[in-house]
Structure 1
């Protein structure tokens, strides 16, 4: 997980679209420049410099972040030892006047060898640290979490990850300001201006990528980005910014359950798009429960959604016979109560569905995978009041595992709180900016058009309702064909937003990514 779906914030009364790890997901409805040296700001010195950004009172007494720490480790991968070094440290980011305004903590896994690729990883939210991709998907170690039956009190044991990408690329996990141990060193108003809005977020994180490459003499390496959820929103924009503004070109981009089009589900009273987005994922979850989920079955669902379902919704009351036929077919596809589908008009709203699908068991489905459930502590409330089932179970084990790994295993003895998911970032994020509403598809198109060798792999879980796979299918189908059609492709796997928590899906993702990397 890693990310917070912007629509899952309590301040937004709708739910649908994408990004991950909801910051404040209570109800499912409620859904710059940096130096090369990883130095920390000296609050006392900054206080004496009248030109420096003001450091807020609550930050003035913070102990400095430790110097960079390293540890040699080994895992067994495909029956062979893989030796690597993990490095944890901070890179500073600066304001427009060159003053240090924040410290971005980076966790890098590197293997000895010439000309190895390097992959930069971001999670989403905004407000989520990169631990979800690190310990859930692609790092050399993993924690079992995020699946049906998981508990926040389960042991947070790290084990070797057979789905890691480390044997074919070095991995650099970046925690944006306010997440993980990364932090702002300026006052709240300046923090919001410099870090908690779309354009500044893209600019300073791009510079962190650039500075890590320069600091580690890796500008000549093949370079890749992977972003999940809102990190998938960041991916195309960081790629394009690096390419066009900082002069660093990516070879490939992997977008995991990306939040590409923030406004795609608007106007549900008139547009069929919101309902086209959700129907296939709701159907996939039902097919999975019935042991009928296959790519072939889903191909038929996608064809129906793009064809007869869309046209029937557009006709509305002008064709009552088609509407009744559609309602009957949606009932069959989803396995939901016929009365529920009838009174929904065949338009299955996500929040209502997540309460309805497991209501007989007294449980809620997760927006990230509706087949992952928890008991509903407020079953008679008019709207969902409980936290999302996956978020409720995954933050504790990932936080425990990461803090123990960084402080004990690597020896980076930091005295600070770790934010796997920051509610503070979510509260302060500028969610009304035109830059956010624009989405990242224009940057995706421009980056692909500018570089005929750039490859983009978009991956989703079938069951995800926070960032439904259908959104990426529709997006890519509308892109112009720029050379080889396989340069931008969409793949789906069993599971949800964090489909990689399932071992088979994690291994299938590894195989597809290895194939993409091999083409360079």
Structure 2
């Protein structure tokens, strides 16, 4: 799920299940009793896929997150799939989570790499679409065990002892305005779990505890994080390496935000326009019936990072520069020059939708600008609308996850399932630093500390939420960290959830399998 997406959460709260005491102290009990999740459920499955059979065990459950006094602060829910008959010391295990912040891992789980998937074709994206899971021929279970984690507040994971509404509302990302201070680990609560550091610590706690409980500390390990999950993943790996003595072999970042500086609306800085232009050109190719490739986009990529940037820096008072920008941007985006000129050649994602899609009385998804829907108010000058891809799929995604958990995996909890928690997303504490949050520093530390660590960064061509060029610019600033380089990148047809397209999902699987294989090769080979 994407960064700061419109919340996608589900049904009303059912009655809480009976309270069970697990050793919490009296003060905690009096704060606000909260039902604990039931014990793990283990089920056996066999999946027939393209001439191959996968026999595996599925475990749905939760792991408590305590403070140093042993008081349970929260429970993190998960679903793990382990292949039967494999040597656990040699068998890789992959931990996967989405972003938000506040998003459950459902998108990666039943959209991309789990054993079952919900078809996510744009043509069928609608709240009334049937939530029917089908076998996933592109599952990664062939080459790695899978653990899907719902961070605290998302999915069925929850805070104990106090209302989750108590988190308050934080300042905007990178804002210099005073934001709430995060709580300490000992305090817990929303101000701990819904902060950058608390989120990273709690997920590292979960990974460490799962590895200990399952005797998998010796297993090769990989992390997969999408969107904001791609921001937290390098920080989690760094913490595991530095504080927990746990090595991670590889990491896959899916449509990541590596530095929130690039997410700012560029009122005075041109960098966001530079990052966005190649994705707008990719959308133009799709409108012409062409499949975007790096080769087809090489000219616009080079222009965006050279002449376009130079002319943007000249400013709007340089009419010759504006004329050059308007002509080139119109050429690459296939928009009329007069439309591009209205924005001075500086096309934001909203400006693009306004000019390219709304004249047809339609709106577009910022997560995949090729996915459009009916404009709810075509006569309005401003575009306010639910996302025709992510919001349209909220109901079937939630229904499919509940069917999977309740019926197929036999883990009934009686709790609300949050595909994306509005409370966590709005209450997120980004910190009071004058600089926007970034994960590039953690990524550099991890790469320098472990000479075998491998990274794959993936994006979709037509994603306007986290444009692929933004990551490309940041990755180009990294040192080589050895020969051959250990950071690779791939861009696939599609948007933020490019894996919704069959061909992109298959290519993604192949690239991830190759990455994991490289990370397990002996040094020097």
Equivalent residue number for residue 218 of structure 2: 220
Q: CA deviation at 1:146?
A: 5.4
Which consecutive segments of 4 or more residues in structure 1 shift more than 6 A?
A: none
Shift in alpha-carbon separation, 1:142–1:348, aligned structure 2, 3 A: same
Distance 1:224 1:24 in 2: 27
Range with greater deviation from structure 2 (344-353 or 496-505): 344-353
- Equivalent runs, 1:415-454 vs 2, <5 Å: 415-434=414-433, 437-454=436-453
Equivalent residue number for residue 140 of structure 2: 165
Equivalent residue number for residue 503 of structure 2: 504
Q: CA deviation at 1:270?
A: 3.5
Output one character per residue of 1:86-110: Cα deviation in whole Å (capped at 9) or x when no partner.
1001100013433101111010011
Candidates 36, 49, 53, aligned match of 2:26: 49
Equivalent residue number for residue 124 of structure 1: 99
Q: CA deviation at 1:266?
A: 3.8
Q: CA deviation at 1:417?
A: 0.9
Shift in alpha-carbon separation, 1:100–1:63, aligned structure 2, 3 A: closer
Range with greater deviation from structure 2 (85-94 or 485-494): 485-494
- Equivalent runs, 1:138-287 vs 2, <5 Å: 138-145=113-120, 147-188=122-163, 189=166, 190-266=188-264, 268-287=266-285
Distance 1:54 1:303 in 2: 62
Equivalent residue number for residue 338 of structure 2: 339
Q: Please report the TM-score for the alignment, with normalisation by the length of structure 2.
A: 0.88
Distance 2:22 2:205 in 1: 26
Greater fraction helix: 1
Equivalent residue number for residue 109 of structure 1: 81
Q: Please report the TM-score for the alignment, with normalisation by the length of structure 1.
A: 0.89
Distance 2:273 2:123 in 1: 26
Contact kept? 1:138, 1:165, Cα under 8 Å: yes
Contact kept? 1:43, 1:55, Cα under 8 Å: no
Give the secondary structure class of the aligned counterpart of 1:369: coil
Equivalent residue number for residue 33 of structure 1: none
Q: CA deviation at 1:150?
A: 1.8
Equivalent residue number for residue 457 of structure 1: 456
Distance 1:435 1:191 in 2: 25
- Equivalent runs, 1:236-385 vs 2, <5 Å: 236-266=234-264, 268-292=266-290, 293-317=292-316, 319-385=318-384
Shift in alpha-carbon separation, 1:54–1:461, aligned structure 2, 3 A: farther
Contact kept? 1:181, 1:418, Cα under 8 Å: yes
Equivalent residue number for residue 184 of structure 2: none
Output one character per residue of 1:269-302: Cα deviation in whole Å (capped at 9) or x when no partner.
4322110111111110111111232321112221
Equivalent residue number for residue 387 of structure 1: 386
Note the aligned Cα RMSD (angstroms). Answer: 2.0
Q: CA deviation at 1:203?
A: 0.5
Q: CA deviation at 1:262?
A: 0.7
Shift in alpha-carbon separation, 1:480–1:486, aligned structure 2, 3 A: closer
Shift in alpha-carbon separation, 1:328–1:171, aligned structure 2, 3 A: same
Q: CA deviation at 1:267?
A: 7.1
1:98 aligns with 2:60: no
1:23 aligns with 2:7: yes
Q: CA deviation at 1:318?
A: 6.7
Distance 1:140 1:288 in 2: 30
Range with greater deviation from structure 2 (100-109 or 382-391): 382-391
Distance 1:439 1:217 in 2: 33
Q: CA deviation at 1:436?
A: 8.5
Distance 1:360 1:243 in 2: 52
Range with greater deviation from structure 2 (505-514 or 483-492): 483-492
Distance 1:344 1:318 in 2: 14
Equivalent residue number for residue 61 of structure 2: 89
Q: CA deviation at 1:264?
A: 1.9
Which structure 2 segments of 5+ residues have no match?
Answer: 10-17, 167-187, 521-525
Give the secondary structure class of the aligned counterpart of 1:464: coil
